[in-house]
Amino acid sequence: LQWEPVEYFNNKIICDLVEERHQGIIDILDEECLRPGDASDNTFLTKMEETVGKHPHFITKEINFLTPNSYLVCCSLRHALGNSKLRKTIGYEEFRLVHYAGEVTYSVKGFLDKNNDLLYRDLKVAMSESKHDIIKQAFPVTELARLKRPETVGSQFRTSLNRLMDILMSKEPSYVRCIKPNDAKMSDRFDETLVRHQVKYLGLMENLRVRRAGFAYRRTHEIFLNRYKSLCPSTWPHYDGSPRKGVDVLCKYLDYKEGEYRLGKTKVFIRFPRTLFATEDAFQIRKHELATIIQSVFRGWRQKKMFMKMRDAVTLLSAQWKKVLAIRLREKRKKATVNIRKFILGFMTRLQPRCAENTEFLDYVRYSYLMRVKNHLPTSVLDKSFEHAPAALEETGALLQKLNMKNLTLKYVKSVTPQRKAAMEEKVLASAIFREKKKGYDESVGNPFQEKPRVEQLKPKMLAMIDAGEQTLYSCSVTKYDRHGYHPRPRTLILTSTATYLFDAKDGKLKQKIPHQELTGISTSSLGDNVFVLHAPSDKKEKGDAIVQSTFVIETITKLASIAKKDKEVKIVENSSIVHDMAGGKHGRIDYVVGNDVSVTKSKTG
């Protein structure tokens, strides 16, 4: 294999800066903690400047202390990385380490105290004498007998870290890099800056470059060939050559590119994961194909074996079953012959009194008739049809038809609501008035009358003109023709329990009021027009009879006749003229002429 060096940052120089013997920061800190004299955090910082000040990854400001309480600060550039602009960002009691991922600034305040974080001897003695087993185990008595000075925190850290590294180096560890998506611990939230910072400081980019530059997958020729040989016809099912030659043939058949793999003496190396994934996907598909072939061969053999066994069994069963069917057919024909004979005798003696010859026939006739009646009963009172009864059951059929009609009538009466009853009474009244008298009545039978007023939003001015205590029982939009020129005027007709009102449809002004007790008659023609005349007594009227045209003429006249109790005063004029009264004692006449167009015009005779 051709070696390709990959450049990456080696963190060993930073590790040596921190933990190198006699020259590292940890040993300098331990030395300051152990030396006699007035040691402080500032003297520790000065000692580091003197020892590792020229290290390329160490930056600080030089501090020269004159006395414990006063010092002279002198800034100087230590090396190329420590320019003046960079040093302005460092405090007088701080130093900075340049790691591979970035710079980290440390403050020396409290370094010595934390490094000498030792427990007093009298406290250790008290803890070792505790009656609690865990506390007593944590502070053994043997430790009190040691005269050697305890290790500092830095030395303990280095010892623990070295022990951990020895354990890791003796194993083959696998590392799991945990990336925190955000600081708020919230789902579906990705902080790109935070994640990029973690990726950089964990050295994942260097890891990726190393992995991409090398061959991630490596297996011996035997294992690789045994797993994927089914993908190539030349190697499946058996390959007689050497495993290395077989892998070479397999890779060429799979169309591996030259830079995607290498063949070693004992192993095959694959550079890109996508190449291995594609090979594995093809292998998974091939497994299903091979399983299908194996299943088809096995199922064919099994089905053939079962077929031979079943054929013998079917031959035996067929012979026995044909015997059983023949016996059953004989018994069935014998029974059918007896029944046919009985029914023929019964039919021949059906009109005679009940006897042994016609008993079963008459029972069958009764049963079949009752079942036909049950399945074809009328469901409506308007349905007069009923199942025809045989001669022996004519009286029974008549009684059943009568009982069924009573039952349907009772159900229908119970289902009729008061509103429906009132509407039906109005339809009955309309039938008594218009049936076979006025053209267009037959078409209106199927359309129910409107229960609510047809003009729902009446103007307040109209409601104010209605007598106190009266309610609107019916209203609709009509056209009123004046008595002189027969000009059409849009009006709103309102019926109350005592009077009929005609209002102007535009401004709501009352045009005419006809009390029901003064209404002498209602006239309309037998033709298909929508005009009717409201007659009032000549001695009390001011404007004469009202000539009105309504789209719902049958409904309007029926409502008026029902409310005013004037159904006897409704007059249907057949192909004639209607005479109406006008103001001043004059009379007018409405003549009807049959034609194609509907119109109301004034003739020359008036």
Would you say how long the chain is, in residues?
606
Q: Look at 290 and 326; give whichever has higher pLDDT.
A: 326
Looking at residue 381, its pLDDT comes to 82
Average pLDDT over residues 294-323: 93
User: With pLDDT > 90 as the criterion, what percentage of the chain qualifies?
Assistant: 12
pLDDT in tens, 464-506: 888 888 888 888 899 988 866 778 889 999 999 899 999 988 8
- For 146-276, where are the E strands, in sequence order? 217-220, 261-263, 267-270
Residue 237: cis peptide before it, omega within 30 degrees of 0: yes
CA 45 to chain centre: 67
Query: Comparing 117-121, 309-313, 585-589, which segment has the lowest mean pLDDT?
Result: 117-121
Query: Comparing 48-52, 250-254, 362-366, 563-567, which segment has the lowest mean pLDDT?
Result: 250-254
Query: Comparing 20-24, 192-196, 270-274, 278-282, which segment has the lowest mean pLDDT?
Result: 270-274
**pLDDT-based confidence at residue 4 (cuts at 50, 70, 90):** low
State which H helix or E strand residue 98 sits in: strand 94-98
Place of tokens 């890779």: 251
User: What is the spatial distance between Cα 472 and Cα 475, in angstroms, rounded to a whole number?
Assistant: 7
* CB proximity list for 80: less than 8 A, separation 6 or greater: 56
Looking at residue 240, its pLDDT comes to 80
Looking at residue 97, its pLDDT comes to 86
User: What is the spatial distance between Cα 260 and Cα 277, in angstroms, rounded to a whole number?
Assistant: 13
Most confident of 72-76, 276-280, 451-455: 276-280
Looking at residue 537, its pLDDT comes to 73
Looking at residue 81, its pLDDT comes to 42
Where does residue 215 rank: exposed (0-12), middle (13-18), buried (19+ CB within 10 A)? Answer: middle
Q: Look at 335 and 580; give whichever has higher pLDDT.
A: 335
CA gyration radius for the chain?
58
pLDDT in tens, 540-551: 545 678 889 888
Helix %, strand %, coil % for the chain, to 5? Answer: 45, 15, 40
* Average pLDDT of the residues of the chain: 81
User: What is the spatial distance between Cα 413 and Cα 483, in angstroms, rounded to a whole number?
Assistant: 48
Looking at residue 62, its pLDDT comes to 57
8 Å CB contact between 522 and 571? yes
State which H helix or E strand residue 59 sits in: strand 58-60
pTM of the model: 0.39
**DSSP string for residues in 120-181:** -HHHHHHHHT-S-HHHHHHS-GGGTT--SPPPPHHHHHHHHHHHHHHHHHTS----------
**pLDDT-based confidence at residue 335 (cuts at 50, 70, 90):** very high
130's tokens: 């505790």
pLDDT in tens, 47-72: 888 888 888 888 887 543 333 333 33
Instruction: Centre a 10 Å sphere on the Cβ of residue 355 and count the other Cβ atoms it contains.
Output: 11
**pLDDT-based confidence at residue 117 (cuts at 50, 70, 90):** low
Average pLDDT over residues 255-272: 75
User: What is the spatial distance between Cα 350 and Cα 344, in angstroms, rounded to a whole number?
Assistant: 10
Place of tokens 């057949």: 574
User: What is the spatial distance between Cα 62 and Cα 76, in angstroms, rounded to a whole number?
Assistant: 6
3-state secondary structure 573-593: ECCCEEEEEEHHHCEEEEECC
Q: Look at 115 and 375; give whichever has higher pLDDT.
A: 375
Phi, psi of 318 (to 5 degrees): -65, -40
Average pLDDT over residues 448-456: 75
User: What is the spatial distance between Cα 409 and Cα 419, in angstroms, rounded to a whole number?
Assistant: 18
Q: Is the pLDDT of residue 333 over 90?
A: yes
**pLDDT-based confidence at residue 176 (cuts at 50, 70, 90):** confident
* CB proximity list for 596: less than 8 A, separation 6 or greater: none
**DSSP string for residues in 287-303:** HHHHHHHHHHHHHHHHH
* CB proximity list for 271: less than 8 A, separation 6 or greater: 214, 215, 216, 259, 260, 261, 262
211's tokens: 């992995």
Distances (CA, A) of 603 to 313, 580, 590, 606: 105, 16, 10, 5
**pLDDT-based confidence at residue 327 (cuts at 50, 70, 90):** very high
Average pLDDT over residues 313-333: 94
**pLDDT-based confidence at residue 147 (cuts at 50, 70, 90):** low
Average pLDDT over residues 9-20: 80
Phi, psi of 262 (to 5 degrees): -140, 145
Phi, psi of 3 (to 5 degrees): -80, 130
User: What is the spatial distance between Cα 271 and Cα 218, in angstroms, rounded to a whole number?
Assistant: 9
Q: Look at 347 and 586; give whichever has higher pLDDT.
A: 347
Q: Is the pLDDT of residue 352 over 70?
A: yes
**pLDDT-based confidence at residue 337 (cuts at 50, 70, 90):** very high
Looking at residue 538, its pLDDT comes to 62
Q: Look at 172 and 271; give whichever has higher pLDDT.
A: 172
